[in-house]
Structure 1
Amino acid sequence: MAPANLRQLPTLDNLKGFVAAARHLSFTKAALELSLSQSAVSRQVQGLEEQLGTALFLRTTRQLRLTPAGELLYRNASDMLARLAAVVDDIASAGQRPRVTVSASIGFSALWLVPRLSDFQGLHPDIGVRLSADNRRVDLEAEDVDVAIRYCTAVNAPAGSLKLFDEVLLPVASPALAASLPAGPALNGANLPSLTLLALEDGSDYPGLRWENWLDPLGLSATQAKGLLQFNHYDQCIAAALAGHGAALGRLPLIRDRLGEGRLVPLAPPRDSADGHGYYLLRAPGGQRPEVARFVAWLQAVATRESSADAIIPDHA
């Protein structure tokens, strides 16, 4: 094919204005797409028609229609611009680091994932991570998410998901609050009137996170507590416990490091969730990119290490 005479080709702006107008059969809609005024698009098309020496549109008071010459140019120009846009995207993306988009609940993100991301970045500095923290269950394909962490029972776990770890719970408080309790650091009838209960109340039905599961076996009621504070995000509940505002139901996978550091102390031995909830990893269909595989492998390795038999669970005093 002979090389094109670039001086004879229309300007790119005029071609873009024409293709947009031809796609919508409207100068107004083309102007909105290109963020231009209607008169600017009209001038682009008029300039193209003058250069080609032929009309590209039939203009009436009610509608815009392509002439045969306009239809021929639109078919070829739209295809050319689409291929040019694809090349530009490929060149631009080649200069960017690969990225993994992760969806997780706000509580899991704040308490577990964010503190550990520096470990992943140290191992894979060439891979970027975009964290989408949301308690809403996202559609991975529709919202361009590579990996999601789901909190659910095994029965409700999505097909193809992998369990990271089980839910394990225990009541916790700050060291200062625990030391001030009249009967020592324990959840019992003698201490309950001195405790404010910190509870998650976000509209979700998670029976295992209810205080009744701990109080009923002891013959106690939340009405006997000093007070009740409710939060719609779990990380707020733990922040209040760290600040000494009361006792929270600690989710061991999410607060293990705070227990290990002595920033929280247990008021009873840990036990598995009464309703069988756990944390599951779900990868988007077709998410086989190398950076996604590396992030998934890292996530599984950390989860296995932290839930292994030799992982430290602080003793209950």
Structure 2
Amino acid sequence: MEKLPPLNALRAFVAAGASLSFTKAAQELGVTQAAISQQVRLLEQDLGTPLFIRHHNALHITEAGAQLLPRFQDALFAISAVSEAVRTRRPPGILRVSALPGFAQFWLLPRLKTFCDANPDIEVHLVTSHRTADFPHGDADIAIRLGTAWPGLDATFLISAEITPACSPQLLSRGRGLRNPEDVLHYTRLHSSTDPDDWRKWLTAANVSADDIDRGPRLDSFVLAIGAATAGLGIAIIRRRLIAEDLAKGRLVAPFGLNVRIPGGWHVVHPHENERRSEVRRFKEWVVSTAQREP
């Protein structure tokens, strides 16, 4: 067999080519941006042609890269499909569910007992991940992700995603008060590294401008951001559906009525063929119907 390009380099190129962003590719594959850049350079050296043009903060794909991208995507999908066909030879009744950490902890887990009680023959294995989809890696049968499109996968809308500032009642009582959106500028603002532009989106919608919008502690997940807000560290910009219970029980307060909807929302995603399994169908029907019943 002739020499093949390195598999990790192919995965890095496909992820970067699909998003035209080394940063997003790094988040998808769970590595650093530098690692993506290095793997792409290795592939370019192996093929003897540039695949991207890097210009300031923009990434453009070359003609050669555009021709190779769909072919490499198809090749990786074929490898994934063959590998998954082997992995799925396991005892029936086990369902591997993948969800984003914040969604898993604050939305799915409080409701999961209902599904387990109604389906005692299904053993749920829940994992959390920030990757776009785990199926190529053999980690899940069905996943819940936040976004707009997942090429090659079936996607069913679950819940819309709206962002709003939230903080502890104690923090609110100690400060200058939050009567108007611009008042958040007088407090410590907490940022989630997974969605660093959320404060900017909300303040723009509120017609508030500032030179130091990005200033403040950064947490690497919404789980930590919610925890930090609850502990009184500052004001977090949070997906409102994830803190419904905290708001109801008074652990957090959302001082403003302005909820900014972000594109997409949470979706249930899976390869088309996975829905042939009863476990996948039943979980999908349950989670979608549960979300539809709630306001």
Structure 2: runs of 5 or more not aligned: 1-88
Is contact 2:222–2:238 with CA below 8 Å preserved after alignment? no
- Corresponding position of 2:95: 100
Is contact 1:212–1:221 with CA below 8 Å preserved after alignment? no
Cα deviations across residues 76-114 of structure 1 (Å, max 9, x unaligned)? xxxxxxxxxxxxxx9x94xxx711111122222222222
User: Could you state the TM-score of these two structures normalised by the residue count of structure 1?
Assistant: 0.58
In structure 2, what is the Cα distance between the partners aligned to 1:245 and 1:133? 25
Establish whether residue 110 from structure 1 lines up as the match of residue 105 from structure 2: yes
Q: Which amino acid aligns with 2:185?
A: L
- Corresponding position of 2:241: 253
Is contact 1:166–1:272 with CA below 8 Å preserved after alignment? no
Structure 1: runs of 5 or more not aligned: 1-89, 312-317
- Corresponding position of 2:185: 192
Following superposition, the deviation at residue 261 of structure 1 comes to: 1.8
Question: For residues 186 and 266 of structure 1, do their structure 2 counterparts lie closer, same or farther at Cα, with a shift above 3 Å needed?
Answer: farther
Task: Show structure 1 runs of 4+ deviating over 6 A.
Answer: none
Number of equivalent positions? 205
Q: Which amino acid aligns with 2:266?
A: Y
Pairs within 5 Å for 1:203-282: 207=197, 209=198, 211-216=199-204, 217-221=206-210, 223=212, 228-273=216-261, 275-282=262-269
Q: 1:169 aligns with which of 142, 163, 187?
A: 163
Question: For residues 145 and 219 of structure 1, do their structure 2 counterparts lie closer, same or farther at Cα, with a shift above 3 Å needed?
Answer: closer
Is contact 1:181–1:191 with CA below 8 Å preserved after alignment? no
In structure 1, what is the Cα distance between the partners aligned to 2:192 and 2:213? 18
Question: For residues 289 and 267 of structure 1, do their structure 2 counterparts lie closer, same or farther at Cα, with a shift above 3 Å needed?
Answer: same
In structure 2, what is the Cα distance between the partners aligned to 1:117 and 1:186? 38
Question: For residues 181 and 224 of structure 1, do their structure 2 counterparts lie closer, same or farther at Cα, with a shift above 3 Å needed?
Answer: farther
In structure 1, what is the Cα distance between the partners aligned to 2:201 and 2:236? 13
User: Could you state the TM-score of these two structures normalised by the residue count of structure 2?
Assistant: 0.62
Q: What secondary structure does 1:266 align onto? A: coil
Higher Rg of the two aligned structures:
1
- Corresponding position of 2:272: 285
Following superposition, the deviation at residue 168 of structure 1 comes to: 1.2
Cα deviations across residues 224-245 of structure 1 (Å, max 9, x unaligned)? 89x6110111111111011111
In structure 2, what is the Cα distance between the partners aligned to 1:105 and 1:224? 26
Establish whether residue 201 from structure 1 lines up as the match of residue 193 from structure 2: yes
Is contact 1:127–1:291 with CA below 8 Å preserved after alignment? yes
- Corresponding position of 2:21: none
- Corresponding position of 2:141: 146
In structure 1, what is the Cα distance between the partners aligned to 2:181 and 2:200? 13
In structure 2, what is the Cα distance between the partners aligned to 1:249 and 1:105? 17
- Corresponding position of 1:180: 174
Tell me the C-alpha RMSD between the 2 structures: 2.7
Following superposition, the deviation at residue 214 of structure 1 comes to: 2.8
Q: What secondary structure does 1:223 align onto? A: coil
Is contact 1:105–1:135 with CA below 8 Å preserved after alignment? yes
**Percent identity between the aligned chains?**
30
In structure 2, what is the Cα distance between the partners aligned to 1:201 and 1:187? 26
Q: What secondary structure does 1:262 align onto? A: coil
In structure 1, what is the Cα distance between the partners aligned to 2:183 and 2:220? 29
Q: Which amino acid aligns with 1:302?
A: T
Following superposition, the deviation at residue 140 of structure 1 comes to: 1.6
